[in-house]
Amino acid sequence: MKKYKFLFCIVFVLFAIFSCEQNDEQNLQYDKSSITILRHPGILRFWTPKNATFTSMNQEDFDIIDSLISEYVKAYNDTVLVRLKEVHPTNTDIGSEGYFINFKDYKRQYVPYLDSVDNRMALVNCFCNNPSNSPLTDIQTWIEKDSTAWRTYFMVPEGLGKCYFRFRVNLKQRNYSRF
């Protein structure tokens, strides 16, 4: 009988820990209309290093990711601006041509995980918020059929470009790499 009580206590404590972690994550401040957190096992198998495990996210993680996305978008837009000025040196209204990334026009999928040496990491997957503006017909078709599909499925288009970009964030080192 004592054995069962002890086992019950362990199960209860584990349940309480994981429930609190999930509840804490649900109370985080982020734009839930454009960001989702994914934890599908297939994502770990194909998109993360071997032996990675899912982890929770905290508010600081969101802040780090937002900062790094802003850094990436600024670098991208600066590069595009330089190239556009080279191609169209007399055009003074380059900003209206739609070549730039506007961070607010994207859906984002975050996949938080621990790598094999327990570094806190996140896959960040960004794609056009408005599928009708997307050249990515596979994602466009999915979103048109089910507007919530992006909340469940890791979106992987046939190509990259302005409408789709992704990277891996090391939350501890506060840096990112494209993949």
Burial 18-39 (b: 16+ CB within 10 A, else e): eeeeeeebeebebeeeebbbbe
Residues of the chain with pLDDT under 50: 4, 6-23, 132-136
SS3 (DSSP) at 123:
strand
SS3 (DSSP) at 18:
helix
CA distances from 144 to 79, 80, 136, 157, 174 (A): 32, 30, 12, 15, 35
Phi, psi of 16 (to 5 degrees): -65, -40
pLDDT of the residue at 178: 78
CA distances from 93 to 11, 50, 80, 99 (A): 63, 48, 14, 12
pLDDT of the residue at 129: 73
Q: What is the pLDDT of residues 63-88, one digit of tens each?
A: 999 999 999 889 988 998 888 888 88
pLDDT of the residue at 91: 74
Torsion sign (Cα): 143, 145, 146, 152: negative
